[in-house]
Amino acid sequence: MTAAADAPTVKCLVWDLDDTLWDGVVLEGDDPAPFPPALDTLAELDRRGILHAVASRGEHDVAHQHLTAREVADWFCAMEVGWGTKSAAVRRIAEALNIGLDTIAFVDNDPVERAEVASELPMVRCYPAAEVAQLPEYPEFRPEHITAEATGRRRLYQAEWQRRQAEEEYTEGRQAFLDSLDLVMELRPATEEDLARASELTVRTHQLNSTGLTYDIDELRRLSSSPDHQVRLATLRDRFGDYGIIGLAVTALVGRDAVLRLMLMSCRVASRGAGSVLLHHLIQQALAAGRRPVAHFIPTAVNRNLLVTMRFAGYEATGTDEERLVLTVDPERPPRKAPGHIRVIAGAA
């Protein structure tokens, strides 16, 4: 199978195990080693920042023990092993990783299993096990940039898995759990070293992207050096570790307005309230500079939640400009307070 020209880059490859990752059925007593080409593909896609997960039939503990014994368990960020449908397992993985189904690929030796996933989840790209060695050559598995953060993405998601487990075990309520994370956001102008990751964010992020715009490195470099624009990045960390660069804002200074042309936030931090905090500080910085906060928003099939977040932050719809909604904060009305569980360190705008 090949991807459509406009299909997003794959963010996660979901693997069947028996007769796909290895030759044999572990639950029947086989002790197979992973195919060498499969190991090569695991390593190469991981280097590019593409995650791996498991959706396979069998017993979870048995499969995990074999993955561990063969020293490959650490490649995987999520694992669904059981007797339900593969499509349901793939859907749960997407929910656990908080990524869109259209950014997931699935590989399985069984054509019936592939057909079931393709029928239930037509946006998921499915591949036969015979193509495992070729997957890194397919364009949908070749992100435009391979950043330092991409090569460590697996660790970021594994840390997030630890956070999820800690939250499930926490007994004092969600807000108390968020308070316990000791979240710190740093908001700062983009530097030359940041541009590849900033461009990657615009390509990878769809659900929390205000306009759907993408910028390549040259465009971001031009905007960063323009006196009429501000390109700012947000990073996040907590007691479990660093989330890396998770947000991007591109603002045009037009007269007395600060026009937010693009605001996006990584789906990994959607449940942390980071989008609200970033928007609050963008509004505060614009007001402190004597400018009216304005934002453009282009509705898509997946970014409605971001519009709700922007409305809660204080933006109100005041008109349209071609296909864009124009949102404005009234300088005479104090903006809503930002959530208090994230401490913000703001650099110069």
List, for residues 11-62, the tens digit of each pLDDT value.
999 999 999 999 999 999 999 999 999 999 999 999 999 999 999 999 999 9
Residue pair 132/1 in contact by the 8 Å Cβ criterion: no
Residue 163: predicted pLDDT: 83
Written as six digits, the tokens of 190 are 């983009």
Mean of per-residue pLDDT scores for the chain: 89
CA atoms of 59 and 49, how far apart (whole Å): 29
- The predicted model gives 183-210 an average pLDDT of 82
Residue 1: predicted pLDDT: 53
**Better-predicted residue by pLDDT, 146 or 240:** 240
Verdict on whether the full-model pTM lies above 0.85:
no
Query: CA triplet 245, 73, 178: central angle to 5 degrees?
Result: 40
Residue 255: predicted pLDDT: 93
- What is the CATH number that goes with domain 173-346? 3.40.630.30
The structural domains of the chain, with segments of one domain joined by +, span 12-141, 173-346
- Residue range 244-301, pLDDT digits in tens: 888 899 999 999 999 999 998 887 787 788 989 999 999 999 999 999 999 999 988 7
Q: Is 21 helix (H, G, I), strand (E, B) or coil?
A: coil
- Is beta strand 324-328 parallel, antiparallel or unpaired with respect to 316-321? antiparallel
CA-CA distances (angstroms) from residue 136 to 43, 45, 321? 10, 7, 41
Residue 148: predicted pLDDT: 67
- The predicted model gives 199-224 an average pLDDT of 81
Write out the E strands in 111-228.
125-128, 183-189
Angular region, 58: left φ>0, alpha ψ -120 to 50, beta rest: left
Give the architecture (CATH level 2) of 12-141. 3-Layer(aba) Sandwich (3.40)
